[in-house]
Structure 1
């Protein structure tokens, strides 16, 4: 039995059951379409690979399959024998391998080393063998030669915008912005010593088992080779992908064969910790990851969400939008929001919040409760979910808990992992906090608490307060360059330096200073908070623009770290306002309740008090008036008790 995180299995089953009938209908329709076109020897596993690549759009998946087959016929790719030459020798060169680690977002990492490839010795038929469609999210071409860079920059102007956002050339030092050094091999400036032979042995075992198990009317799918490896802990919050989230296509296909048997089994992972709480550094068959290729040391980095493959038959990057919380159905116009708030008034909104708060947690807290991690939590009753927690690089190979910090990824408006919600750092976790900032590529930190409130310490002083001051925490130096004071907030411009590599990065730190604990800004005034929110967004935009091609992720940039004291009350309120404001600008609607529910599904107990939930509604109405979505907003009687209309 593979070692899966309990929460991962729960969400796999939940997502799989939720999409079960759609999954079956799409698979059957795709196979029927192939049968009508004369293709009768296509396994269910192969069908699912193509459906995954086109988000289960049967028509588009069928078109992709026809393109794939045309390429196979044109290139003579009729047989796939990985343990016979020439493919056997090609695999043994080590030019392509999969690392036993993940990047900071949980993506798997594959390495293609271009300077080990000799076209005169290896035909393109060998290179393309076994190609399947890939849903690629990111391509980083690292230390590309000059003869490539010049035409590449010109060609970028003529490709689709989504493709252009995902394909970049970066220098070798910039690779650390995208992949933690602990997850990179030493030849790329990392700390890893990958074992290529061990990976090949693992693939051989998987391939042999698949030949024994993958049958369709007695016909073996001759060109299916699955990296049958358990998925790691997801980094994108609760698994909401279609058809069972990050399952491999073959695994999903086997579940599809028998809709009453929901177990998942297979070979042991290439590397795994046998603890049932952890499997974060094993290989993943869905290649939700990066691919690194080298020329001088030219390293191509490909991030995918789905089954990875190579070959011309793949059209390249998918057009799947990087989605997230805050979009979709359930929105209401500002006028409808105002009418609902008038009808419910404060008491009704508080009752609505109580209904949300009464729901049980959406996940488990196993890692936060481990004895070695308990002291890293500021509050014993504010823990971080397992399924969406941020994983730090493991600093001690003998202590897997060194990857723990009380922090969770939370999706923004149409952006996965737009935020990291965390507690106010403790002195003992200052080093972990700055390690997270560095490894996640964070450019903006939002702090919605004061260090001391009502005589109690709410957050440690983890950054230097005065201009010119410098502090060091766990191998990271933080210098204060400039401080800007406002009546309601303080902006500090910091320079963060990794002392091991001497690489530096500017970090914008915004602290809102007039927001009481367990409450809302003084007098319930939303305008200062909204003004601060605009400053945060402008800072993120400028910092993202300064990165240029060094950033190859979502166009809004890396995760913004947001914290108060516990990282749930004021933090959740700030996120709700940001997500709803962005959606209002893009779609003309908001969904406060749905947004709060999604945030709480990734960061437990977010929005801590009824007043904070009410404040979100009032602030968004004020925002709508300020920006012309509403002419005015009369809330006379809002604070009065609702009359009893039962008589």
Structure 2
């Protein structure tokens, strides 16, 4: 009866959001993790989904780098034996982690993958999991507090497994303060299961034949082989873990409605209750969260001169790769239920004009959105990377750009450009939108003028995508549009957040601004640069709703 109740409730949600229903086996996994308490199992399911989406872990691809190398590093593994109660034993070896080389995003991907594979086994579902946090021989440089918090948060309430105990073994003296901080995160029930254990006392918790030799046991430890076996088994197999995230396997987007959504009335009530100061504090919490990924390529010495700002970098996991020189400071960003709806990028530098237009051509971009002027306050914010006057022509690398027409509106210019590829002799039309009423670090004086601008952009994008559909082989909802300001995070992030939230509002009548911004920052790091811009998202949506008659003026 329990699996039927669970599936009925969860599949109401999957049906509402247009994704595949959950299977019986998946239902049993979540129910067993919560001792067949249906309400707690449903809560666990959504916590699991939300955690993976928040960390940008949507589809695990274990045969692709950098996840493959992380899986084979031996940092995480599941031992080939069980404890006397039948529980699986997972091992994390802290001394193998080097934060300067591997970002949290990849580590968490590996943890999700290995634990998911471990709990596919019915015996593990029934008897639970023991997690050994092996700190023996580790230094402070191997430790990362934020990563440890995320691992414990995952284990305590966002993973479908019965957690029997967490044994922190061989902890150095300096770990006492971080441990006290970590223990504050834990509910009392779980705090009892987390124990710091000296190496010599570990056998009081697990017998010798369940422990590897370096932890005083008699088990030869081959951390590489179990993980390698999983990778070989995975080849050609669709991993059921992706089903649990609740989004289609192909063209998945991280922006889908989650359980913590708001109606317009609830958004209004939240804004009235929190006031500007409370929304600013909400933004500050988002700002403090570290990006779930690495910036290795953006930080490489030979790429430094391609970054307009040294502290605004693109994540390795979502960056756009050019076919030749490879690097450009640009990131793929999902839209509402649409993979790679945007390319968020910096205002092109003179030395990167050719890279910019090559990216536009390679990614089949038909609409460019510019939310800055080239110069503001006596400072250069963006290069003049297109011919400004009607009839003007410029050549950037192997892309020739011709300005066919400029239509000037109250708050923006719309320019029709024709691109000619001098290598393939193909040509393509691109529409360039430049919004003119948005001060740097500030917000537009009129929210509705920006929303009207967004509407004009969307209309052109839809028309251009339909005209180009016979040549497009990507996402069925259309091609990516380029969105940029100066750094490519403040005004760019605000524009994209408004588009995502308003699209969800139109689709299902709900939205969640905080969740949208958090997910967006996981793809284009630091998106939305100021608390004013975050607050503006709230007020702009409510102004739009009132104009549309969706919310009365006195509500």
Q: TM-score higher than 0.5 here?
A: yes
1:550 corresponds to: 471
Residue correspondences, number: 357
Are 1:332 and 2:262 an aligned pair? yes
The alpha-carbon deviation at position 604 of structure 1 amounts to 1.1
Give, in whole Å, the separation in 2 of the partners of 1:548 and 1:370.
37
Are 1:345 and 2:275 an aligned pair? yes
> Which of residues 438, 446, 450 in structure 1 aligns to 2:361?
438
**Residue deviations 1:396-426, cap 9 Å, x none?**
xxxxxx2100011111111111111000000
**Residue deviations 1:546-590, cap 9 Å, x none?**
013211322321111100000000000001000000000111101
Give, in whole Å, the separation in 2 of the partners of 1:577 and 1:531.
12
Give, in whole Å, the separation in 2 of the partners of 1:521 and 1:432.
30
> Which of residues 510, 520, 526 in structure 1 aligns to 2:433?
510
1:421 corresponds to: 344
1:539 corresponds to: 460
The one of the two structures with greater contact order (alpha-carbon pairs below 8 A, sep at least 6) is 1
Structure 1 runs (4+) greater than 6 angstroms displaced: 5-9, 262-267, 304-307
Q: What SS does the aligned partner of 1:549 have?
A: coil
Task: Note the 1:374-389 alignment, pairs <5 A.
Answer: 374-389=304-319
Q: What SS does the aligned partner of 1:550 have?
A: coil
User: What 5-or-longer segments of structure 1 have no aligned partner?
Assistant: 32-257, 268-284, 288-303, 308-317, 395-401, 635-647
The alpha-carbon deviation at position 12 of structure 1 amounts to 4.6
1:604 corresponds to: 525
1:480 corresponds to: 403
Is the Cα–Cα contact under 8 Å of residues 540 and 556 in structure 1 kept in the other structure? no
Give, in whole Å, the separation in 2 of the partners of 1:325 and 1:2.
20
Is the Cα–Cα contact under 8 Å of residues 369 and 483 in structure 2 kept in the other structure? yes
**Residue deviations 1:107-141, cap 9 Å, x none?**
xxxxxxxxxxxxxxxxxxxxxxxxxxxxxxxxxxx
The alpha-carbon deviation at position 22 of structure 1 amounts to 5.1
The alpha-carbon deviation at position 361 of structure 1 amounts to 2.5
Give, in whole Å, the separation in 1 of the partners of 2:261 and 2:434.
31
The alpha-carbon deviation at position 319 of structure 1 amounts to 6.5
Are 1:526 and 2:447 an aligned pair? yes
Distance of aligned partners of 1:390 and 1:633 in 2 relative to their CA distance in 1, 3 Å threshold: farther
Are 1:391 and 2:485 an aligned pair? no
Are 1:467 and 2:410 an aligned pair? no
Are 1:360 and 2:283 an aligned pair? no
Task: Indicate the RMSD between aligned Cα atoms, in angstroms.
Answer: 3.2
Is the Cα–Cα contact under 8 Å of residues 370 and 432 in structure 2 kept in the other structure? yes
Is the Cα–Cα contact under 8 Å of residues 8 and 387 in structure 1 kept in the other structure? no
Structure number with the higher helix fraction is 2
**Residue deviations 1:321-357, cap 9 Å, x none?**
6331331312110000000000011111001111111
Distance of aligned partners of 1:629 and 1:18 in 2 relative to their CA distance in 1, 3 Å threshold: farther
Give, in whole Å, the separation in 1 of the partners of 2:121 and 2:474.
31
Give, in whole Å, the separation in 2 of the partners of 1:521 and 1:263.
57
Is the Cα–Cα contact under 8 Å of residues 382 and 566 in structure 1 kept in the other structure? yes
Distance of aligned partners of 1:607 and 1:484 in 2 relative to their CA distance in 1, 3 Å threshold: same
Give, in whole Å, the separation in 2 of the partners of 1:507 and 1:3.
34
Q: What SS does the aligned partner of 2:470 have?
A: helix
Distance of aligned partners of 1:16 and 1:629 in 2 relative to their CA distance in 1, 3 Å threshold: farther
Q: What SS does the aligned partner of 2:469 have?
A: helix
Q: What SS does the aligned partner of 2:253 have?
A: coil
Greater CA drift, 18-27 or 476-485:
18-27
The alpha-carbon deviation at position 364 of structure 1 amounts to 1.5
Are 1:630 and 2:554 an aligned pair? no
1:322 corresponds to: 251
Is the Cα–Cα contact under 8 Å of residues 2 and 266 in structure 1 kept in the other structure? no
Are 1:11 and 2:127 an aligned pair? no
Is the Cα–Cα contact under 8 Å of residues 625 and 633 in structure 1 kept in the other structure? no
TM-score (norm 2): 0.60
1:409 corresponds to: 332
Is the Cα–Cα contact under 8 Å of residues 493 and 508 in structure 1 kept in the other structure? yes
Is the Cα–Cα contact under 8 Å of residues 344 and 482 in structure 2 kept in the other structure? yes
